[in-house]
């Protein structure tokens, strides 16, 4: 029986099939942004061909499909979500527009405020109010709610966010409103803030609920289309969707809590990195996923990625638990341009899947990072990538040439400038997730994947002071592979305000038990055995008087142990701990099904250590030199490759820069010793 992981990127859709024996097959198709399900089905056809069969036979032999998708992300970033209305406590309709009273750039006096997802005309007051302790100050006026609902119906909304004050303490008014919506707007997608995010802070809760309502119908339509196409093609198995927190969920749960999938795409690569860290015995990793459109960077400490509840996607806050990933518009297709100031800029605009970089020969007419890499010799013009793409140096020259003329550079100098600017952007992001959060990069290895990650990783590692780079087996489709090593997972949160000096362990235990039952219920209903479910508790702490919290894993030992754990984390992030009073704000619970045995087997051992050929490449420290080329599948474990060298597989290229050494390990990974600059 086959398991299939699918990762839809901005340029390519990656597919990985793993059979019961652990054999891995890969396929890539061009992404189809207008309807990503078309690209998924195209990829399944290619995967079937790779396995020597047809689509019907492939799907008949497939028991599980796990899918990472950017549909919710793109709907949010491109402002192509549903037409949303908002019902809220009288006097609070402007919370999502006032935000937290801060600009993203507080010193930019000309920065316009972000445009909210719901315009003011569709944010309607409802007569009701709960106090901070959950008691009723003003009962819900059904007449007021019905009037507002009819106004939203007349406005033609397709989704409604219900965001009442203090609903996290008692959801009764929101639930009564849902009954009214079911009667008056039966076709609307409804999000209740008490179900999306049952925690304190109105802006975060309201905004996350609005995001959920905004992307929910779009994600629902897409997953409906995909399910229909799969059923029509003969698939009868389960489909699970990658979530922002690194776990997976059913389609129904993914549509219900659609805001939990806004970082679905990059989460797969982090899940694969998490598993690779266990196989490699490398607990501290920086994951570096560079594709055609964007680059995603995250830190794994002790083999686990950090989660955050403070994530901004575009101008919208999504306060659900998600892997702390930093995304920037830097990929192989990122377009280089000259700003009016005369500065060279690279990204975030991308050539995307179509037309793609100029060197792809599909109509691209602007200079990209891939065009620059080809001219520098970091890509092989003689190779046909994926059996379909042959790179054209002449087209790359035609688009890099105007940049060179603009600055008075040679073609090579201009190409090097494009790559250096792209690397500088990524280096800043690398330091943002590590050095600026109290971590020493010398204690980490860089794990590089995606189509372009292994190409740039060595240069980035050297500049950052990282001593080793790991290029995992199947690096070109690593995020798709990560979908297959991600656990089924449910998270929940409940606000619990309490100071540690008056800590009541019995009350905390009761509340954790209630959260535990809430997380366990769907897993047990789906037939998972209790002994295969791990339960993880954590708490949000802050010093009394602070406005922001730190999530701390629950530790036994009472208030003293909890305070010590909080202050250790506070000291790491901010350099100090005050010893002052600490308070709890939220309780969190995670229920996670034990992972299946991981499909990361060693590929067939190579038999030849000889280079296949060579070509000229340019490096700033050496100038133009002859660079040997190796076929990755033929490298035997333990064989040493000295830089400068190129190691190629079907869909990605690893550059071993001058002064570096690379060896293939027993699992098929390439391990690069970075060393000092040559």
Q: What is the pLDDT of residues 538-585, one digit of tens each?
A: 999 999 988 889 999 999 989 999 999 999 999 988 889 998 999 999
pLDDT of 16 above 50: yes
**Confidence category of residue 9, pLDDT binned at 50, 70, 90:** confident
**Residue 105 confidence (pLDDT):** 76
Average pLDDT over residues 629-633: 90
CA dihedral 571, 572, 573, 579 (to 10 degrees): -10
Give ∠ CA 559-197-574 in degrees, rounded to 5.
50
**Where does residue 638 fall: left (phi above 0), alpha (psi -120 to 50 degrees), or beta otherwise?**
left
Rounded CA-CA distance 45/114 in Å is: 42
**Confidence category of residue 388, pLDDT binned at 50, 70, 90:** low
Domains of the chain: 76-221 (no CATH), 489-593 (3.30.1490)
pTM confidence score: 0.86
Percentages of the chain per state (helix, strand, coil), in multiples of 5: 35, 30, 35
Lowest mean pLDDT among 50-64, 86-100, 598-612: 598-612
pLDDT of 449 above 90: yes
Give ∠ CA 488-244-191 in degrees, rounded to 5.
95
Q: Where are the beta strands (DSSP E) in 562-649?
A: 582-593, 613-619, 623-631, 640-642, 645-648
Average pLDDT over residues 257-274: 91
Q: What is the pLDDT of residues 498-539, one digit of tens each?
A: 999 999 999 999 999 999 999 999 899 888 899 899 999 999
Average pLDDT over residues 630-643: 89
pLDDT of 677 above 60: no
Task: Give the three-state DSSP class for 668.
Answer: coil
In this structure, are strands 62-68 and 2-8 parallel, antiparallel, or unpaired?
Answer: parallel
Average pLDDT over residues 454-465: 95
Rounded percentage of the chain residues whose pLDDT exceeds 70: 97
**Residue 594 confidence (pLDDT):** 82
Question: What is the total residue count of the chain?
Answer: 678
pLDDT of 117 above 70: yes
Average pLDDT over residues 191-216: 95
φ/ψ (deg, to 5) at 252: -60, -45
pLDDT of 174 above 60: yes
**Residue 678 confidence (pLDDT):** 45
């Amino acid at each position: 029986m086959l398991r299939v992981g699918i990762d839809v990127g901005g340029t390519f859709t990656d597919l990985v099939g793993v059979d019961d024996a652990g054999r891995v097959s890969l396929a890539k198709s061009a992404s189809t942004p207008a309807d990503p399900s078309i690209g998924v089905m195209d990829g399944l056809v290619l995967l079937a061909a790779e396995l020597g069969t047809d689509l019907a036979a492939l799907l008949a032999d497939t028991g599980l499909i796990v899918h990472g998708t950017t549909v919710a992300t793109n709907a949010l970033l491109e402002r192509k979500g549903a037409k949303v209305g908002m019902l809220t406590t009288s006097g609070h309709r402007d919370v999502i527009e006032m935000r937290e009273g801060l600009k993203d750039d507080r010193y930019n006096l000309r920065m316009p405020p972000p445009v909210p997802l719901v315009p003011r005309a569709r944010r309607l007051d409802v007569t009701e109010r709960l106090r901070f302790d959950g008691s009723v100050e003003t009962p819900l006026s059904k007449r007021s709610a019905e009037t507002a609902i009819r106004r939203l119906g007349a406005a033609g909304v397709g989704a409604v966010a219900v965001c009442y004050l203090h609903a996290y303490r008692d959801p009764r008014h929101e639930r009564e409103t849902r009954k009214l919506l079911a009667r008056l707007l039966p076709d609307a997608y409804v999000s209740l803030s008490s179900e999306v995010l049952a925690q304190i802070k109105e802006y975060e809760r309201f905004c996350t609920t609005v995001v959920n309502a905004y992307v929910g119908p779009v994600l629902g339509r897409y997953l409906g289309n995909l399910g229909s196409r799969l059923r029509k093609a003969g698939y009868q198995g389960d489909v699970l969707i990658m979530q922002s927190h690194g776990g997976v969920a059913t389609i129904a749960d993914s549509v219900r809590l659609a805001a939990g999938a806004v970082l679905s795409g990059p989460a797969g690569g982090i899940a694969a990195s998490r598993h690779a860290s266990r196989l490699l015995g490398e607990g501290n990793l920086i994951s570096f996923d560079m594709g055609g459109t964007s680059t995603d960077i995250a830190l794994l400490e002790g083999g686990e990625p950090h989660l955050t509840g403070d994530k901004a996607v575009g101008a919208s806050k999504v306060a659900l638990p998600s892997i702390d990933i930093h995304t920037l518009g830097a990929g192989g297709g990122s377009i280089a341009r000259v700003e009016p100031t005369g500065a060279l800029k690279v990204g975030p605009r991308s050539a995307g899947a179509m037309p793609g970089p100029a060197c792809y020969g599909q109509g691209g007419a602007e200079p990209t990072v891939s065009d620059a890499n080809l001219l520098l010799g970091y890509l092989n013009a003689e190779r046909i990538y994926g059996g379909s793409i042959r790179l054209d140096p002449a087209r790359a020259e035609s688009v890099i040439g105007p940049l060179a003329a603009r600055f008075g550079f040679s073609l090579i100098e201009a190409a090097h400038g494009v790559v250096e600017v792209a690397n500088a952007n990524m280096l800043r992001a690398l330091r943002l997730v590590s050095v600026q959060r109290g971590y020493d990069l010398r204690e980490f290895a860089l794990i590089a994947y995606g189509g372009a990650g292994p190409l740039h990783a060595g240069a980035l590692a050297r500049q950052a002071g990282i001593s080793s780079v790991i290029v995992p087996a199947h690096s070109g489709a690593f995020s798709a592979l990560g979908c297959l090593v991600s656990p089924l997972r449910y998270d929940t949160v409940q606000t619990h305000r309490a100071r540690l000096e008056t800590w009541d362990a019995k009350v905390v235990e009761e509340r954790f038990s209630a959260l535990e039952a809430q997380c366990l219920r769907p897993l047990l209903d789906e037939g998972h055995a209790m002994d295969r479910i791990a339960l993880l508790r954590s708490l949000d702490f802050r010093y009394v008087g602070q406005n922001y919290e730190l999530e701390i894993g629950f530790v036994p030992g009472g208030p003293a142990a909890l305070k010590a754990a909080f202050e250790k984390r506070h000291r790491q992030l901010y350099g100090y701990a005050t010893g002052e009073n600490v308070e709890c704000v939220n309780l969190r619970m995670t229920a996670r099904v034990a992972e299946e045995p991981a499909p990361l087997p060693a590929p067939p051992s190579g038999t030849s250590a000889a280079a296949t050929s060579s070509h000229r490449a340019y490096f700033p420290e050496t100038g133009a030199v002859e660079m040997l080329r190796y076929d990755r599948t033929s490298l035997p474990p333990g064989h040493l490759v000295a830089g400068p060298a190129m190691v190629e597989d079907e869909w990605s290229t690893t550059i071993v820069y001058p002064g570096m050494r690379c060896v293939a390990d027993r699992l098929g990974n390439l391990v690069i010793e970075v060393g000092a600059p040559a």
